[in-house]
């Protein structure tokens, strides 16, 4: 099956053999909303490269959510594979995605004889060739896994953006954890957001020299989006322009929270809204009908709760920045909110982002209504407690991840100078725990040190104390 029949070229960047540019193409695969958000800054960075250029492959799953985001960033996908509309099963998606991607690679790389050797340098040695040097896939979606599989099937190296997140239970979240692990087996090069993600990969036997820690590209995207100061797009949200009102943002959609857990989260939100009538709660309700039915049943009619459709990413970034506190089970929100100064109550039993829990910008609350209520009220009422949670350096990134990705790929293909390493080289708490201290003692001792050695401020001591108090 050829991509000509399955894929739709979006502009004349050339699926054919016509000479397009001397820059070397990197395929950038996306299809779901989180992929588009987190790949967007990578595409922007590659567009600025003198050596490389992005070739954006939209798999087509969440088109209505993906295209407006890309449009706002000035990105037009080069091709749309138009998959995922009928294929509602995981197997159907794998089948369709491998088939469509294979057709695309046929067009880009030529027939079977050309598929059998790596082409990373082929592209660099033959400027103007439509051959891509590599395929960039993101995270943990089934389409990313299938695109990786199709790429490796014709020796096109796979580069994994947001590599190394783990729960280690392939059934939770399913199929995301399985997809992540499978992509890690396929990837030639792993771009890990944090040192902890790198450690996960090393533990699984990945060569540390094939991993580069970059920070999460989602933070780059959020800074860009929040900075646009987009209109809210819903007149009910104009109330947020009053800076004196506390704002609580809630999102929930994970499979493991459907049913009773979401009902408990909604009950907790109702109590918070009733106990703090000046607070405004904004809950963009996920399109899954099972989420909507429960949330509306419990929260309809509560005057200071605004239930909306999912909000476009760019105003959503502004909303996260405006929020006093977020309650969410979303992976992306856990990383993004702290980077714009908003603490997050994570409505999950476990998180594949323990760095944020350890650093203190996230608190795991599961769906325990009492915990959600008391911690959220504590944060709404006490600016000091909020500052304690968010003054910590965001462990997920500094907003420059995609520049590191670009530099790393240029180094890979053209042997330009290697980019500098990102991130701290060790975790103080881990060393202290290995020395026999428990986390509570570390928090208390750190706050004593902060009090007796003001010159060492910034060490997080005061924050640690506040956090320990909040959690009790
Ligand atoms: N998001 C959005 N509008 C909303 C809710 C979330 O644009 O109404 C964004 C959010 O900023 C984050 C991404 O969507 O970047 C998270 O997607 P989701 O929660 O679906 O997936 P997860 O992060 O859990 O994989």
Tell me the pairing of strands 79-80 and 8-9.
antiparallel
Tell me the pLDDT band of 64, cut-offs 50, 70 and 90. Answer: confident
Model confidence pLDDT, tens digit, residues 193-204:
999 999 999 999
Q: Are residues 254 and 171 in the same domain?
A: no
Q: Which of 382, 414, 446 is the last residue of a domain?
A: 414
**Is the minimum distance from the CB of 251 to ligand 1 under 6 angstroms?**
yes
Closest ligand 1 atom to 251 CA: 5
Would the pLDDT of 6 be above 60?
Answer: no
pTM of the model: 0.84
Does residue 422 form part of some domain? no
Model confidence pLDDT, tens digit, residues 138-171:
999 999 999 999 999 988 999 999 999 999 999 9
Does residue 446 form part of some domain? yes
Q: Which of 128-142, 292-306, 368-382, 410-424 is predicted with the least confidence, judged by mean pLDDT?
A: 410-424
Burial environment of residue 268 by CB neighbours within 10 A (0 to 12, 13 to 18, 19 or more): buried
Residues labelled catalytic: 140, 162, 176, 253, 255, 286
**Is the minimum distance from the CB of 261 to ligand 1 under 6 angstroms?**
no
Burial environment of residue 22 by CB neighbours within 10 A (0 to 12, 13 to 18, 19 or more): exposed
Angle of helix 142-152 relative to helix 90-109, nearest 10 degrees, comes to 40
Q: Are residues 196 and 237 in the same domain?
A: no
Would the pLDDT of 324 be above 90?
Answer: yes
Model confidence pLDDT, tens digit, residues 95-123:
999 999 999 998 888 777 667 767 677 66
pLDDT at position 130 is 80
Average pLDDT (418-436) is 77
Does residue 445 form part of some domain? yes
Nearest CA to ligand 1 atom 12: 332
Would the pLDDT of 451 be above 90?
Answer: no
Q: b/e map of 347-383 (b: 16 or more CB within 10 Å)?
A: bbeebbbbbbbbbbbbbbbbbbbebbbebbbebbeee
Q: Are residues 8 and 104 in the same domain?
A: yes
Output the DSSP codes for 25-54: EEEEEE-SHHHHHHHHHHHHHHHH-SSEEE
Burial environment of residue 116 by CB neighbours within 10 A (0 to 12, 13 to 18, 19 or more): exposed
Q: Are residues 177 and 241 in the same domain?
A: no
Range of the domain at 265: 229-390
Closest ligand 1 atom to 329 CA: 24
**Is the minimum distance from the CB of 33 to ligand 1 under 6 angstroms?**
yes
Q: Are residues 308 and 367 in the same domain?
A: yes
How far away, in angstroms, is 367 Cα from ligand 1 center?
Answer: 19
pLDDT at position 63 is 86
pLDDT at position 181 is 98
* CATH number for 188: 3.40.50.2000
pLDDT at position 20 is 55
Tell me the pairing of strands 247-251 and 52-58.
unpaired
Does residue 424 form part of some domain? no
pLDDT at position 355 is 87
Average pLDDT (456-464) is 51
Average confidence score pLDDT of the chain: 88
Residue 241 to residue 229: CA distance in whole angstroms: 12
Does residue 224 form part of some domain? no
How far away, in angstroms, is 366 Cα from ligand 1 center?
Answer: 18
**Is the minimum distance from the CB of 331 to ligand 1 under 6 angstroms?**
yes
Best mutation site among 251, 256, 284, 337 for ligand 1, i.e. most ligand atoms within 8 A of its Cβ?
A: 251
Best mutation site among 250, 283, 333, 350 for ligand 1, i.e. most ligand atoms within 8 A of its Cβ?
A: 333
Of 185, 207, 198, 220, the residue nearest 41 (C-alpha): 220
Model confidence pLDDT, tens digit, residues 253-290:
988 899 999 999 999 999 999 999 999 999 999 988 99
Number of domains forming the structure of the chain? 3
Would the pLDDT of 5 be above 80?
Answer: no
How far away, in angstroms, is 45 Cα from ligand 1 center?
Answer: 22
**Is the minimum distance from the CB of 336 to ligand 1 under 6 angstroms?**
yes
Does residue 7 form part of some domain? yes
pLDDT at position 462 is 44
Distances 437 to 236, 389, 426, 440, 445 between C-alpha atoms, Å: 50, 22, 17, 8, 10
Does residue 141 form part of some domain? yes
Which residues touch 309 (CB under 8 Å, ≥6 apart)?
Answer: 284, 285, 287
Does residue 221 form part of some domain? no
Q: Are residues 293 and 238 in the same domain?
A: yes
How far away, in angstroms, is 187 Cα from ligand 1 center?
Answer: 25
Contact 405, 161 (CB under 8 A): yes
**Is the minimum distance from the CB of 333 to ligand 1 under 6 angstroms?**
yes
Q: Is 346 helix (H, G, I), strand (E, B) or coil?
A: strand
Q: Are residues 297 and 249 in the same domain?
A: yes
Instruction: Quote the strand ranges of 155-199, DSSP E.
Output: 158-161, 189-192
Nearest CA to ligand 1 atom 5: 310
**Is the minimum distance from the CB of 310 to ligand 1 under 6 angstroms?**
yes
Closest ligand 1 atom to 313 CA: 7
How far away, in angstroms, is 330 Cα from ligand 1 center?
Answer: 6
Would the pLDDT of 238 be above 70?
Answer: yes
pLDDT at position 470 is 53
Give 27's strand partners: 55, 135
């Amino acid at each position: 099956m050829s991509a000509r029949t399955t894929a739709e070229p979006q502009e004349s960047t050339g699926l054919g053999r016509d000479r397009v540019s001397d820059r070397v193409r990197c395929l950038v695969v996306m299809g779901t909303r989180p992929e588009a958000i987190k790949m967007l800054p990578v595409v922007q960075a590659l567009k600025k490269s003198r050596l490389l250029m992005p070739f954006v492959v939209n798999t087509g799953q969440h088109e209505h959510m993906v295209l407006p985001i890309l449009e706002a960033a000035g990105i037009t996908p080069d091709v749309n594979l138009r998959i995922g509309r009928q294929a509602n099963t995981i197997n159907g998606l794998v089948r369709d995605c491998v088939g469509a991607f294979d057709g695309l690679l046929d067009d880009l790389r030529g027939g079977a004889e050309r598929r059998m050797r790596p082409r990373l340098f082929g592209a660099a040695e033959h400027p103007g060739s439509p051959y891509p040097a590599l395929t960039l896939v993101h995270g943990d979606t089934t389409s990313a896994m299938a695109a990786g599989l199709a790429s490796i099937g014709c020796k096109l190296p796979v580069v994994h953006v947001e590599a190394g997140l783990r729960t280690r239970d392939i059934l939770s979240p399913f199929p995301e954890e399985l997809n992540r692990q499978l992509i890690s087996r396929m990837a030639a090069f792993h771009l890990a957001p944090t040192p902890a993600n790198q450690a996960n990969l090393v533990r699984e036997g990945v060569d540390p020299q094939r991993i580069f820690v970059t920070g999460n590209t989602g933070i780059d995207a959020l800074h860009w989006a929040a900075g646009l100061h987009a209109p809210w797009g819903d007149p009910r949200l104009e109330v947020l322009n009053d800076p004196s009102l506390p704002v609580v943002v809630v999102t929930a959609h994970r499979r493991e929270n459907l049913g009773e857990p979401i009902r408990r989260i909604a009950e907790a939100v109702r109590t918070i809204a009733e106990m703090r009538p000046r607070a405004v709660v904004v809950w963009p309700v996920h399109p899954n009908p099972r989420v909507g039915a429960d949330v509306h049943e419990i929260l309809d009619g509560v005057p200071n709760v605004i239930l909306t459709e999912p909000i476009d990413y760019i105003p959503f970034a502004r909303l996260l920045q405006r929020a006093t506190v977020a309650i969410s089970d979303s992976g992306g929100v856990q990383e993004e909110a702290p980077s714009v100064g908003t603490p997050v109550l994570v409505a999950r039993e476990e998180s594949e982002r323990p760095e944020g829990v350890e650093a203190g910008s996230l608190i795991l609350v599961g769906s325990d209504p009492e915990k959600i209520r008391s911690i959220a009220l504590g944060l709404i009422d006490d600016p000091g407690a909020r500052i304690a949670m968010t003054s910590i350096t965001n462990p997920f990134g500094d907003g420059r991840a995609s520049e590191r990705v670009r530099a790393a790929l240029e180094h890979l293909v053209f042997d330009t100078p290697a980019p500098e390493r990102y991130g701290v080289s060790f975790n103080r708490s881990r060393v202290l725990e290995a020395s026999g201290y428990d986390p509570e003692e570390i928090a208390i001792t750190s706050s004593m040190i902060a009090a007796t050695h003001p010159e060492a401020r910034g060490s997080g001591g005061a924050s640690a104390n506040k956090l320990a108090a909040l959690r009790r």
